[in-house]
């Protein structure tokens, strides 16, 4: 692929109206996925036509514009990012920003299904850690949650990631009546292998077949239950995302909580998200967005895209307003998580 020209940073840091510096960009490279997780997608999904999706060259140019403006952490997401055709071309190209020191970290969130195939090449591109989504260690339940997933393939992918020298963090969505009885064994499994485990509350994003009220498990309750069995010590550890971490004294490992519902973490938000169509969402929980595809395609110069980014960051909201209850049947945000990126 043709690499966009690197430029010396000339723009001030991206500062939103509330004084927060935007230094973390999550980019969805595809809305497609080889799973159909029950809390994320409908089983019969209609995906975007390819003409609407940014090319790999356009994704590189867009990411590079954000890096030039001071973004230091870049995470590629999906859908499932590793199902995007020729995706390693983008990783290889973006790795130049690691080599130059402009970027501190290039990572990805994955369901793990393709890790066995790509782990070594990811490491060669400068990726040092990956987030793998696993909501259960029960193969039958895993298939039921993901509809199409094979747990053994995901675990083999994690083994391949370790062999390649990649750090692994496991993400698990807490689901009432589904995996709440597995949280303790998942903590022990992850910590025995040296992995951090992060628990995530389900969010009201996109129409699904099920009622999210039936799925929603407050992590405040999970933490209270865990404190009957473990000693949890708050620690200041940060990875750039919204998780708040504790050390589990009995295992020595770290446990993270991402709580968009029970504890709004917006006061320290340092991130924005770009979809595979070039739409910039300044907040995961708000519909306001900016079209970056049009200025990207309108000129080979970057002045239009730079101006569009600056304007969008200038209206980044203070926070989101997620609500899950039986009186609000419709999701707070109608787009699916696979569109925005994890």
Q: How confident is the model over 107-133, as a mean pLDDT? A: 97
pTM: 0.86
∠ CA 181-187-192, nearest 5°, is: 140
* pLDDT of res. 129: 97
Contact criterion met (CB below 8 Å) for 77 and 28: yes
Q: How confident is the model over 72-76, as a mean pLDDT? A: 97
Binding-site residues for S-adenosyl-L-methionine sit at 39, 79, 133, 203
Q: What is the pLDDT of residues 286-322, one digit of tens each?
A: 888 999 999 999 999 999 999 999 999 999 988 765 4
Residue 323 pLDDT greater than 70, yes or no: no
DSSP code at position 227: T
Q: How confident is the model over 156-160, as a mean pLDDT? A: 98
* pLDDT of res. 330: 46
State the angle between helix axes of 139-146 and 151-163 in degrees (0 to 180), rounded to the nearest 10.
100
Query: What confidence category does residue 43 fall into, taking pLDDT thresholds of 50, 70 and 90?
Result: confident
Query: What confidence category does residue 338 fall into, taking pLDDT thresholds of 50, 70 and 90?
Result: low
Q: Which of 40-44, 53-57, 71-75 has the lowest mean pLDDT?
A: 40-44
Query: What confidence category does residue 340 fall into, taking pLDDT thresholds of 50, 70 and 90?
Result: low
Contact criterion met (CB below 8 Å) for 122 and 164: yes
Give SS3 for 258.
Answer: strand
Pairing of strands 24-28, 271-274: parallel
Binding-site residues for GTP sit at 26, 75, 109, 169, 271-273
Binding-site residues for [4Fe-4S] cluster sit at 33, 37, 40, 266, 269, 283
Binding-site residues sit at 26, 33, 37, 39-40, 75, 79, 109, 133, 169, 203, 266, 269, 271-273, 283
Q: How confident is the model over 247-260, as a mean pLDDT? A: 94
What is the dihedral angle through the alpha carbons of 262, 266, 269, 271, rounded to the nearest 10 degrees? 80
Q: How confident is the model over 324-328, as a mean pLDDT? A: 46
Residue 246 pLDDT greater than 70, yes or no: yes
Fold of 24-340: TIM Barrel (3.20.20)
Give the rounded percent of residues in the chain with a pLDDT score beyond 70: 85
Residue 169 pLDDT greater than 90, yes or no: yes
Report which of residues 287 and 109 the model is more confident about: 109
Mean pLDDT of the chain: 88
Domain ranges of the chain: 24-340
Query: What confidence category does residue 210 fall into, taking pLDDT thresholds of 50, 70 and 90?
Result: low
Reading across the β-sheet that carries 253-258, which strands appear in turn?
232-234, 244-248, 253-258, 196-201, 167-174, 129-133, 105-110, 73-77, 24-28, 271-274, 279-281, 289-291
Query: Which H or E element spans position 338?
Result: helix 337-340
Long-range contacts of 125-129 (CB under 8 A, 24+ apart): 125/88, 125/91, 125/92, 125/94, 125/95, 126/95, 126/98, 126/99, 127/91, 127/166, 128/166, 128/167, 129/166, 129/167, 129/168, 129/169
Rounded Cα gap, residues 49 and 269, in angstroms: 32
* pLDDT of res. 8: 45
């Amino acid at each position: 692929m043709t690499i966009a020209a690197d430029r010396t940073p000339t723009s001030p840091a991206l500062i939103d109206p509330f004084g927060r510096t935007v230094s973390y960009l999550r980019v969805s490279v595809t809305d497609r996925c080889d799973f159909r997780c029950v809390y994320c997608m409908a089983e019969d999904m209609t995906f975007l036509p390819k003409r609407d999706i940014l090319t790999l060259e356009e994704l590189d140019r867009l990411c590079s514009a954000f890096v030039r403006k001071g973004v230091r952490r870049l995470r590629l997401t999906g859908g499932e990012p590793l199902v995007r055709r020729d995706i390693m071309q983008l990783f290889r190209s973006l790795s130049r920003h690691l080599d130059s020191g402009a970027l501190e970290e290039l990572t990805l969130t994955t369901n793990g299904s393709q890790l066995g195939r790509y782990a070594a090449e990811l490491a060669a591109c400068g990726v040092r850690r990956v987030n793998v989504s696993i909501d259960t260690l029960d193969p039958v339940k895993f298939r039921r949650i993901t509809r199409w997933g094979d747990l053994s393939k995901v675990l083999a992918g994690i083994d391949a990631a370790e062999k390649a020298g990649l750090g692994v963090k496991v993400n698990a969505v807490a689901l009432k009546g589904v995996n709440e009885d597995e949280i303790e064994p998942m903590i022990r499994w992850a910590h025995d292998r040296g992995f951090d485990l992060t628990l995530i509350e389900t969010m009201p994003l996109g129409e699904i077949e099920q009622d999210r009220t039936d799925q929603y498990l407050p992590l405040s309750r999970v933490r209270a239950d865990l404190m009957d069995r473990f000693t949890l010590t708050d620690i200041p550890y940060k990875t750039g995302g919204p998780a708040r971490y504790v050390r589990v004294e009995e295992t020595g490992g770290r446990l993270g909580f991402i709580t968009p519902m029970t504890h709004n973490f917006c006061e320290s938000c340092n991130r924005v998200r770009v979809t595979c169509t070039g739409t910039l969402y300044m907040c995961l929980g708000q519909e306001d967005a900016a079209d970056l595809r049009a200025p990207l395609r309108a000129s080979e110069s970057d002045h239009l895209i730079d101006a569009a980014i600056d304007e969008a960051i200038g209206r980044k909201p203070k926070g989101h307003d997620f609500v899950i209850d039986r009186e609000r049947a419709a999701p707070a945000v109608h787009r699916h998580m696979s569109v925005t990126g994890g």
